[in-house]
Amino acid sequence: MATAITDAHEAQEALRGLFDAYGAGRKGAGPGEAGSGRAVFFGGAGVSTASGIPDFRSEDGLYHQRFDYPPETMLSHDFYVGHPAEFFRFYREKMVAPDARPNRCHVKLAELEEAGLLGAVVTQNIDGLHQAAGSKRVLELHGSTHRNICQSCGAVYTADWVLAQGDKTPDGVPACEKCGGRVKPDVVLYGESLDERTLMASVRAIAEADLLVVGGTSLVVYPAAGLIRYFQGDKLVIVNRDPTPQDGQADVLISCDIAQAFDF
C-alpha cells in the first residue's frame, strides 16, 4: 500500500508530475515521453465540497442531517412518484446550488484538458461545476440538475426555472409550460439505472487510461464505484480526505483537501 501524502505542496508536485508524464496525448509525443499517454479523472461529491455543496457521507454530510424522511428515501424514484411535493421541496433546498462556483480542482482539471493533459472527467456529481469551469468532455454518471425534462413531451428546462416553480405553483411541483406534464430532474434517483451510453463511455475512458486519478469519492456507491475495476493502466491515484476501500490498490495515495492538492 502506498504511503499517503498529507502535505498539500507535496501533493501538488506529485500530481503535476503525473499529468506531465501521463497526459492525454500531445502531438509528436513518443512512448514514455511527456503527454504520450491518456489521463482520466474520476470524481465524486468531495470535489465540490470546497464550492459549498455538502456531500452525503461525511460528518457534516446530508446523511447526518435530520429530515422528515431519510435522504435516501427522498431521493428515490418511488418517493418522486408518490410524494412529489416533498421530493421537490428537498430537491430545491438541498440538491440545487445556484450560487456554487467552481473551486481550484474544477478549474485545474479544465486547464489540464485545455493543455492536452487530460482526456476526460467522469463524475458522480450533478452540479455542473466541471462544465462551468470550462471542461468539455464530462461524463455525468448521475445526470445534472441543469437539465429538467418533461416526462410527457420532452421539453427541457433549466435549474433556475425549477427553482422558480416553488413560488409559482401551490405544491411546488413543476408542470411543463407546453403540455402540463410533470417535469423531472435529469438525475439518477435511487431505484433508477444509470444512462447506458454514459456508463459505457465512462468504462471505455477508464479502460483506455494510462493514468487514473480518483478524487473526492468514498468508492462505496455502486455501480459507479465499480468502474475502477476496468482500469488496467500504469498509475492509479486516489485523492480523498478519508480512507477508501480501494486505497490498497493505489500507486499514489493523497490524503488532503482536494482543492488544495490541485492548486498547481
pLDDT value at residue 24: 61
pLDDT digits (tens, 9 = 90+) for 219-240: 998 888 899 999 999 999 999 9
Q: Are 109 and 122 in contact (CB under 8 A)?
A: no
Task: Show me where the domains of the chain are located.
Answer: 1-53+102-142+194-264, 54-96+145-187
| CATH tag for 1-53+102-142+194-264 (out of 3.10.20.740, 1.50.10.150, 3.40.50.1220, 3.40.630.10) | 3.40.50.1220
Which H/E stretch holds residue 163? helix 159-168
195-215 confidence digits (pLDDT tens): 999 999 999 999 999 999 999
* pLDDT of 34 above 50: no
How far is Cα 114 from Cα 216, in angstroms, rounded to an integer?
Answer: 22
pLDDT of amino acid 121:
98
pLDDT for residue 41? 98
Q: Which of 64, 83, 130, 142 is catalytic?
A: 142
CB atoms within 10 A of CB 13: 13
Predicted confidence (pLDDT) at residue 31 exceeds the cutoff of 50? no
Question: Would you state the pLDDT for residue 28?
Answer: 44
For cell 422558480, what's the residue? 164
Give the CATH number of domain 54-96+145-187: 3.30.1600.10
| 25 has a pLDDT exceeding 80 | no
Please give the model's pTM, rounded to 2 decimal places: 0.90
Which residue shows C-alpha cell 514514455?
32
pLDDT recorded at residue 27 = 43
Model pLDDT, residue 2: 83
Q: Evaluate whether 258 touches 7 at the Cβ level (below 8 Å).
A: no
Strands (E), the chain: 4-5, 39-43, 120-123, 138-140, 143-150, 156-157, 183-187, 211-215, 235-239, 252-254
User: Of residues 70 and 136, which shows the higher confidence score?
Assistant: 136
Buried-state track 149-187, b at ≥16 Cβ within 10 A, e below 16: bbeeeeeebebeebbebbeeeeebbbbbeeeebbbbbbb
Average pLDDT over the chain reads 91
142 catalytically annotated: yes
Q: What is the pLDDT of residues 129-146, one digit of tens each?
A: 999 999 999 999 999 999
